[in-house]
Amino acid sequence: MLTLLEIARLLKKVKVVAGRGEVSPELRGWSFDKPPVRPPAYLGLALSDFAYGYCPTGRNLYLKYVLGERGQPNRTLAEGQVLHAVLFRAVEDYKRFAYSGQPMSPPLEEVPEDLRPKAEALYRYVAARLLGEHQYVLASRTARSRDSAVFYVAPLSTQVAVDGTPLGLSTVVADGVALGAVVEFKFGPSQNVEAALAGYAMAIEAEWGVPIDYGIHVQVAVNSSVEYRATAHFLGDAARSKFLEMRDEAADLVASGRDPGPAPDCSKACPFYSTCHADRSR
């Protein structure tokens, strides 16, 4: 999934539509030693706990960081974790096939029984797509070596982890990085996509000192078949400022120890839903 040609087309499209925008130097991740990038406090917040804006009041932050609660695992979270793992495993298995010829096969032995149909459908889809592209780049002599075949077929480096401390965060793990863009896969509802992508990009900029101007959001639906929609975003000043605003609000909430109270209506996929709505979860 997401071959070199596909990523290149996505980035070309966003450059045509959004133009070759500029990013203000003070909003680059490497400007972590001065405002506005410098955090109000170094609390080690997880980016995903606030950047996607899942909790309307931010009470998940109060429960996790102030009271030390861990939340309850639920099917939505478990399914997302399993499908992410299967996707990463398929990309890794393809690269192993390309370099050593080892056949690809679904890693279902560790997948819960009720999630196996979706896990197998996703793995087989990704495998078929990557193996088909592999045959094409070899047959067309686009790729002249195993290494260049992997580059053309699966240029994505998955689960890229950087130290989020300069931004007041914990370790930041991006789903993928390719061609100077950060990539995130979502298997469920997603909000504030540009702000979240900007957060990942700024964390990478702070660690590596290289510009990450674009982000790619991939929304994946898995049933008996697989459908996905990939969209590229320019991570300009607006997205970066929105991310910093959300980070600062999260840090202020945690530092104050103030309980913002439960939201009147929130997602049952939240791991703290039963804590905030004990009367409704029975």
* Whole-Å CA distances, 6 to 183, 200, 232, 258: 13, 21, 11, 46
Average model confidence (pLDDT) across the chain: 93
pLDDT for position 279? 60
79 vs 12, 187, 188, CA distance in Å?
A: 33, 8, 9
- Separation of alpha carbons 282 and 208, rounded Å: 48
Q: What does the pLDDT read at residue 282?
A: 45
How many residues does this entry show for the chain?
Answer: 282
Categorize the per-residue pLDDT at 173 as very low, low, confident or very high, splitting at 50, 70 and 90: very high
Q: Which of 206, 208, 210, 215 is nearest to 167 (CA)?
A: 206
In the structure encoding, which two tokens stand for residue 23, read together?
């990013």
- Rounded Cα distance, 169 and 150, in Å: 33
Residues 49-68, mean pLDDT to the nearest whole number: 92
Q: Judge whether residue 220 has pLDDT over 50.
A: yes
Summarize the confidence of residues 193-206 as an average pLDDT: 98
Give the mean model confidence (pLDDT) for residues 210-227: 95
- Average pLDDT on 29-35 reads 97
CA 43-191-278 angle, 5° bins: 70
pLDDT digits (tens, 9 = 90+) for 231-269: 999 999 999 999 999 999 999 999 999 999 988 888 877
Q: Could you tell me if 206 and 225 are in contact, meaning their C-beta atoms sit under 8 angstroms apart?
A: no
CA distance 197 to 174: 9
pTM above threshold 0.75 = yes
Read off the amino acid at residue 161: A
